[in-house]
Amino acid sequence: PRQVQRGERYPMEVTDFKTGPRLVARLVLIDRLAHAWSGGAAGQPFSDPQGPDASRLLWSFVARHLRD
């Protein structure tokens, strides 16, 4: 796992799972997030804008695999 800190957002621990050189899964653990959508809009229930942008993380993973 590697630690990633982006600006003032909560830090995250990222673990990549590969088959050979190919990334097949990524686990992202976000400390202090509790039960909320990470990086969501402020003021919305069950979202935390202090966390990394989960939508962006998810889309970047999926977009990368659409090309494979």
Residue 32's domain comprises 2-66
For the residues 43-60, what does the mean pLDDT come to?
94
- Is the predicted pLDDT of residue 67 greater than 70, yes or no? no
pLDDT in tens, 5-35: 888 899 999 999 999 999 999 999 998 888 8
Q: List C-alpha distances in Å: 63 to 8, 20, 32, 53, 60.
A: 26, 20, 28, 16, 5
Q: List C-alpha distances in Å: 59 to 9, 20, 23, 32, 63.
A: 19, 23, 15, 23, 6
Entry pTM: 0.80
Residue 58: the pLDDT is 94
Report whether 8 contacts 53 (CB < 8 A).
no
What CA–CA distance (Å, rounded) separates 49 from 9? 8
Residue 47: the pLDDT is 94
Residue 46: the pLDDT is 93
What CA–CA distance (Å, rounded) separates 21 from 16? 11
What is the domain count for the chain? 1
